[in-house]
Structure 1
């Protein structure tokens, strides 16, 4: 039995497996682009090590697509076949990943909390706990699970970045920025810390500072996976959007967001969709970009990894006028909502399904319907996850629907009034003709 870089025991006698686990942890915490490769090296190094299998399964689950879930299954099964003689921490972690794979998020979270309480050096488990809280909209516990282990991890910049993001989501902006800057001062190559500070500056409307901060660090993102590379550039694009520099935003979309995306990646797709939508809400003609993006969304129709993502997909399909796919996906969402874990079911039934109706209606220009559907769900949208910066998009769509529906009402009223005047004039003319 050896120890990993966190000082935690791993049931293996292979230094090569430990080296792979250490690289996996570094890659995961820094959102590196070689996560899959390094952990698969661990599997090769020790085919009897339960934790390398569990970490591999966890990696595939984070990809949030059907193909990756299938890839996760044999590794999870292998981990469960090597439980004899492993530590309690390893057993708890494998149980947490198994619960995640089954969609039992309440169980997964409880296990990550137990791990954090008893093994506070296990940052990978805490990172995954934060991930679950993020997509359940539980910002307080997202912060708390990381804050609670600060004392056990002095000067760990990765943890500072995790705490910084939690503080920002809880509107503790000054503390969030200080923590994010502290993390970056320790290690300039900490993209999640950069991201947390970007959120603060965006929330405070510090556009020029935000651009300067992120662009000064952008060179360090070259080794990031496409998700965080494109997402951090997405934040830069939002700053330029606030500046009103639409050509710059389009250029960032084409070169650093969709242009650098792993186009089959759900997270990359969601970011691209959200940026195109924001551009259109500002009156920008995005050309054929909806059609280009939508060709990659067919695998998403029956996937339903996260309701937050589904709302983006179905809107994009509607804007690309792929209405057969829209109808198919909406029916699939309804069917899925009836079959999932009760812990998650209400979020689908009460939030995702009516929100999807509103999104489809807005994309089709049926603004009164969009306004009615979105008004009901806006106060509940935090329950399907996403950050403040991401969820504000739905509020913008709602306000746009209100504006357009009122405009349509005014146009209808004017047209009706004109029609009444014309009819009256015709009646008068008819009476005068009869008298003559």
Structure 2
């Protein structure tokens, strides 16, 4: 028996395997691709090493791709068949149960089991990191905050990965709406570890939610070398840079980021970031047909099987943007058939049924110019969009689709309500004031429209709100 770098006992690992496992956890927390190499090295040294097998399975499941999940299921099944689980430590058995729940498609049970591990073993970095991602995939803002917050006092400031815990906590605080505290914690996380791309990401989200896109651009520019290369998360942070550029009205800069970084992605994570940036332009009438064509070509193998409804939405956006409405409708029809089959405990089925399908149908309707149907589909679920995962920043694409459809459908009263909600939450957003101008145009109020556009221009020039 040995212990990991955080003092937790492990069985079935030689000294070399334990070292590789510790390095794998470090790489995981840094979002570096070397996590897979170190995990394989640990298993090569000790094939029956329970925690390395657990980590390998989690890695195959957190990509949110069906093919990776299928391979992880086969590997983990072989491990379980060759293991006497009664000989495992209670913490190891709990991880095995959590992995199996995730393999079975039950995100919620997996998250709950990982939470139980964290209560008893708050220094289990793997349970915290994977649980944090599960909370992200299920859109659970409170758990994103409290899963990490409940473990923090078991860690010391001089612990090697304390900064990474702060980075995760900062993101949870942001998603739960504690923006000032999130910024404070996130900046401290990055101070402790400048290469903590998740901590940097948390700070970026905080600025996004406060409309401080000027601060966000300056922050990312100052730390470009820390976040822009060397991880499997750098593309997502570039996406955030693109959002800031769009908010400032700099479409050429956003498209330059798309062409140099986001285009040509292969994983679901990369493709959805690309689709999310282009869709915001699509809503504003910007024709990016050639860019959409390349993106639409990449999606079919990744959504051939249902796995994560959030990915489906971005695939449908890509098909619609490319003018491939028929492909979008085929994907919707496939998911309609999927939800008719009984699948007890499969979280994605409920996500698809209650949120994914209405959103995908709305995106198709938007592509067809049927804006009334978009409103009918999205307005009833607009406060439940979090149930199919993602962050507030990512899900804003859905809210913008609703608002644009309301304006184009001429729904004046509803447009006034939605624009008023946005402006009063984030009065420093140029986008929000441009929508106020569009509403004023709809109402025939030329003076108010001109004033709103002036305000949008001022905010774009000034970078939004500053502290």
The TM-score normalised by the length of structure 2 is: 0.83
- Tell me the CA shift for residue 362 of structure 1: 0.7
Structure 2: distance between partners of 1:82 and 1:190: 38
The equivalent of 2:370 in structure 1 is 366
Could you report, residue by residue, the CA deviation over 1:266-298 in whole angstroms, capped at 9, with x for unpaired residues?
A: 111110000001122233332401100111111
In structure 1, list runs of 5 or more residues that go unmatched. Answer: 412-436
Asked whether the equivalents of residues 304 and 333 of structure 1 are also in contact (C-alpha less than 8 Å), the reply is yes
Structure 2: distance between partners of 1:62 and 1:342: 15
Asked whether the equivalents of residues 49 and 82 of structure 1 are also in contact (C-alpha less than 8 Å), the reply is no
Asked whether the equivalents of residues 308 and 386 of structure 1 are also in contact (C-alpha less than 8 Å), the reply is yes
**Pair 1:243–1:90, CA change in 2 (3 A):** same
- Tell me the CA shift for residue 370 of structure 1: 1.4
Structure 1: distance between partners of 2:277 and 2:227: 20
- Tell me the CA shift for residue 341 of structure 1: 2.6
Structure 1 segment 152-171 matched on structure 2, within 5 A: 152-155=154-157, 156-171=162-177
Structure 2: distance between partners of 1:161 and 1:266: 24
Could you report, residue by residue, the CA deviation over 1:57-88 in whole angstroms, capped at 9, with x for unpaired residues?
A: 11011111122112202321233235252211
Structure 2: distance between partners of 1:13 and 1:113: 25
- Tell me the CA shift for residue 304 of structure 1: 2.3
Report SS of the residue matched to 1:406: coil
- Tell me the CA shift for residue 302 of structure 1: 3.2
1:347 aligns with 2:364: no
Asked whether the equivalents of residues 367 and 401 of structure 1 are also in contact (C-alpha less than 8 Å), the reply is yes
- Tell me the CA shift for residue 317 of structure 1: 1.2
Report SS of the residue matched to 2:306: coil
- Tell me the CA shift for residue 334 of structure 1: 1.3
Structure 1 residue corresponding to 2:391, chosen from 348, 362, 387: 387
Structure 1: distance between partners of 2:350 and 2:98: 22
The equivalent of 1:251 in structure 2 is 256
The equivalent of 1:406 in structure 2 is 410
- Tell me the CA shift for residue 10 of structure 1: 1.3
Asked whether the equivalents of residues 135 and 384 of structure 1 are also in contact (C-alpha less than 8 Å), the reply is yes
The equivalent of 2:74 in structure 1 is 74
**Pair 1:65–1:346, CA change in 2 (3 A):** closer
Structure 1 segment 289-368 matched on structure 2, within 5 A: 289-339=291-341, 341=345, 345-368=349-372
Deviates more, 1:3-12 or 1:335-344: 335-344
Report SS of the residue matched to 1:295: helix
1:108 aligns with 2:114: no
Could you report, residue by residue, the CA deviation over 1:291-311 in whole angstroms, capped at 9, with x for unpaired residues?
A: 001111111333222212211
- The alignment covers a number of residue pairs equal to 406
**Pair 1:82–1:317, CA change in 2 (3 A):** farther
Could you report, residue by residue, the CA deviation over 1:60-117 in whole angstroms, capped at 9, with x for unpaired residues?
A: 1111112211220232123323525221111101110110010122321221011000
Asked whether the equivalents of residues 308 and 348 of structure 2 are also in contact (C-alpha less than 8 Å), the reply is no
Structure number, greater radius of gyration: 1
Asked whether the equivalents of residues 357 and 373 of structure 1 are also in contact (C-alpha less than 8 Å), the reply is yes
Could you report, residue by residue, the CA deviation over 1:210-254 in whole angstroms, capped at 9, with x for unpaired residues?
A: 10111221212355433x111111111111111101000000111
- Tell me the CA shift for residue 123 of structure 1: 1.6
Deviates more, 1:216-225 or 1:67-76: 216-225
Structure 2: distance between partners of 1:349 and 1:285: 31
The equivalent of 2:41 in structure 1 is 41
- Tell me the CA shift for residue 257 of structure 1: 2.2
Deviates more, 1:317-326 or 1:119-128: 317-326
Structure 1 segment 191-206 matched on structure 2, within 5 A: 191-206=197-212
Asked whether the equivalents of residues 51 and 79 of structure 1 are also in contact (C-alpha less than 8 Å), the reply is no
Asked whether the equivalents of residues 17 and 45 of structure 2 are also in contact (C-alpha less than 8 Å), the reply is yes
The equivalent of 1:218 in structure 2 is 224
Report SS of the residue matched to 2:409: helix
- Tell me the CA shift for residue 338 of structure 1: 2.8
Structure 2: distance between partners of 1:195 and 1:150: 19
Report SS of the residue matched to 1:120: coil
- Tell me the CA shift for residue 151 of structure 1: 0.6
Structure 1: distance between partners of 2:29 and 2:355: 31
Structure 2: distance between partners of 1:353 and 1:20: 42
